[in-house]
Amino acid sequence: MPKNRPQFITDLDERSLLLFKSLVEHFIQDGYPVGSRTLSRDTGLALSPATIRNVMADLEDIGLLRSPHTSAGRVPTARGLRLFVDSLLSIEQLEERQVRHLAQEMAAEADMQHLITRTSSLLSDITNLAAVVMLPRRQISSLEHIEFVSLSDNRILVILVLSNKEIQNRIIHTAKTYTQSQLQRSANYLNSTLRGKDLDTIRAEVLMELRKLQEDVNELMQAAIEMAQQAFVSPTAADDVVISGQTNLMGVAELSDLDKLKRLFESFNQKRDILHLLENSINAKGIQIFIGEESGYEVLDNCSIVTSPYQSEGRILGVLGVIGPTRMDYERVIPVVDMTAKILSSALNSTD
């Protein structure tokens, strides 16, 4: 989980913690501000509403609660939810029948793409939230050889031969027409410059350096740089993550503001921010939880994200998780995400 956990739990007495826990549980269940009379009735503590209001005021002063609008009740802040999740939440294992259901549904998919899509759909259906599953990362490959073949209308076929014997073909469009002889010289230059470098390094570092040189090199080198910029373009986020159940969030009161909902759905469509968030979670051990602003993306400020990595043969391949309101039922969602990641890992091991 993210760092910077609240360190002041030891400063709260048992009564304050009990009232705080009860308030958060009510808020998660109902979504409404919780008042002192509700807590007085449900906690079983022999405390007057006035005493409870004083405790709630103290909790508000230290940033765990806030008062929305002019309501007499209070709701937890993101900081309060972090304390609740880290220190007061009781997580139970899924029932055996639920585990069997997940395993059976995912075992039926032998194709990798279908398995990832099915996993995302199942995770969304079970949690009634938006589900995200990152496609397995490929092993890091380096460039062995590049070739260019001239086609019609300034189109060029790019052939990339990688170190794992994989061959990638793609068609690019150039600003001017090149002869096959010019293409061959450009390929020779790029092969001498890039051979042996992994694709991530080429995309992140080498192309940047080539762009800096573009104005200072001859026409042949400019042609090589132009083609390399297109040939080594990074895969799009749309190819790297599967999202299901976005419409589940339309009925969530906290996300019902049309402008916020529009920006959230645009983020789902573009997928870049979500993919980056998943990539940041890929080396985490087990469950990661981002509450509100902890994600680092403004569009997700009213959301919580629960993720877990999945693996095959001891190597982490990707991350899956759910996106929902900060008021999500963490007690129910966390074990579902955790078990789904474990079952996906098992399914991938059995198909290798």
- Using pLDDT thresholds of 50, 70 and 90, give the confidence band for residue 207: low
- Using pLDDT thresholds of 50, 70 and 90, give the confidence band for residue 82: very high
Cβ 198 vs Cβ 140: under 8 Å: yes
Quick: pLDDT tens for 245-261: 999 998 888 887 888 88
- Using pLDDT thresholds of 50, 70 and 90, give the confidence band for residue 2: very low
Cβ 307 vs Cβ 278: under 8 Å: yes
- Using pLDDT thresholds of 50, 70 and 90, give the confidence band for residue 3: very low
Average pLDDT over residues 309-337: 93
Residue 304: the pLDDT is 96
Average pLDDT over residues 307-318: 88
Given a cut of 90, is residue 27 above it in pLDDT? yes
Residue 225: the pLDDT is 78
- Using pLDDT thresholds of 50, 70 and 90, give the confidence band for residue 16: very high
Q: What residues does 307 pair with on adjacent strands?
A: 288, 321
Using CA atoms, how far apart are residues 173 and 226, in angstroms rounded to an integer?
Answer: 10
Nearest Cα neighbor of 29 from 21, 17, 37, 40 is: 21
Cβ 276 vs Cβ 317: under 8 Å: no
Quick: pLDDT tens for 125-178: 999 999 999 988 765 678 999 999 999 888 999 998 987 677 888 888 888 888
Cβ 147 vs Cβ 159: under 8 Å: yes
Query: Which residues contact residue 70 at a Cβ distance below 8 angstroms, ignoring those fewer than 6 apart?
Result: none
